Structure 1
Amino acid sequence: MFTSTFTFAPGNFTEEFHRLDQRIAEVAKSIPGYLGEEAWENSSTGLVSNVYYWESMEALMQLVHHPSHQIAKARQDEWLKGYQVVIAEVLRTYGDERMSHPLRGK
């Protein structure tokens, strides 16, 4: 399994940004191998992180190469004050089973 974490400093979110963001979310959810996502905000820095979970690197790369994602990447400086992406392989997960998580199921 893999994660793709998109951390960004929010900027000027236009209606066009929201439409494109919604389209990318729809595409991600339609890809076989998409497991789910989580979002976090750091109140002290204002940064936002979206963590997407994938069964395989191949599934993740389908989103990366999708035209909607490529448009967003090319135009990110119109809407964001900076971003960072981290791709990681999940080696292990564990917990006490009292909360749902995309890697464990609902």
Structure 2
Amino acid sequence: MSDIYSATFIFGKGQYDEEFYALDNVIAEHTRQTPGYLGLQSCEDRVQNLLINIYYWQGRQGLEMLMQDSVHLKAKQRHYNWLKGYQVIIARVEQSYGDGLLAQALDFPADSSVSVRAIT
């Protein structure tokens, strides 16, 4: 079984226009169609005015495909129009656990290397 990877995209929120939303929607659809895509978590840091999206994949293939996606590359070239900076963090997920009080954010495959307690 291949490892699970996360890609954390941290964006300084700027001014969004119709082109931004159109590209964002296409990229989101392309992302969901990449091999091994598991899901997305998103949160906002209102103090620092940041948007944080964390995507998960089983294996690196889908992540690599997203990074080479033509629409993603187009948006990346134009990011200064909409964002106040960005950072991307790619990581291999070692473990996931909790106390069971939160709904499970992602449905990791049971035979993956990630330890996830089933919530019933």
TM-score by length of 1: 0.92
Amino acid at match of 2:22: R
Q: C-alpha separation between the residues in 2 aligned to 1:23 and 1:81?
A: 21
**Distance of 2:60 and 2:80 partners within structure 1:** 26
Deviation at 1:103, TM superposition (A): 4.5
- Is 1:53–1:103's contact at 8 Å kept on the other side of the alignment? no
Q: 1:101 aligns with which of 97, 105, 116?
A: 105
> Which protein has greater RCO, CA pairs closer than 8 Å, 6+ apart?
1
Q: Provide Cα deviations, 1:12-42, integer angstroms capped at 9, x if missing partner.
A: 1010000000000000001120000011111
- Which 5+ residue runs of structure 2 have no aligned equivalent? 110-118
Residue from 35, 43, 63 that aligns with 2:38: 35
Residue 83 of structure 1 is aligned with which of 73, 81, 86? 86
Which 10-residue stretch deviates more, 8-17 or 91-100? Answer: 91-100
Segments of structure 1 that go 5 or more residues without pairing to the other structure are none
1:52 is matched with which residue: 38, 51, 55?
55
- Report the alpha carbon displacement of residue 104 of structure 1 after superposing the two structures with TM: 3.4
How many aligned positions are there?
106
Q: State how far apart, in whole Å, the 2-side matches of 1:74 and 1:32 are.
A: 24
Higher gyration radius (CA)? 2
RMSD: 1.6
Q: Percent identity?
A: 40
Q: Which has the higher helix share?
A: 1
Q: Give the whole-Å Cα distance in 1 for the aligned partners of 2:108 and 2:61.
A: 20
1:81 is paired with a residue of what secondary structure?
Answer: strand
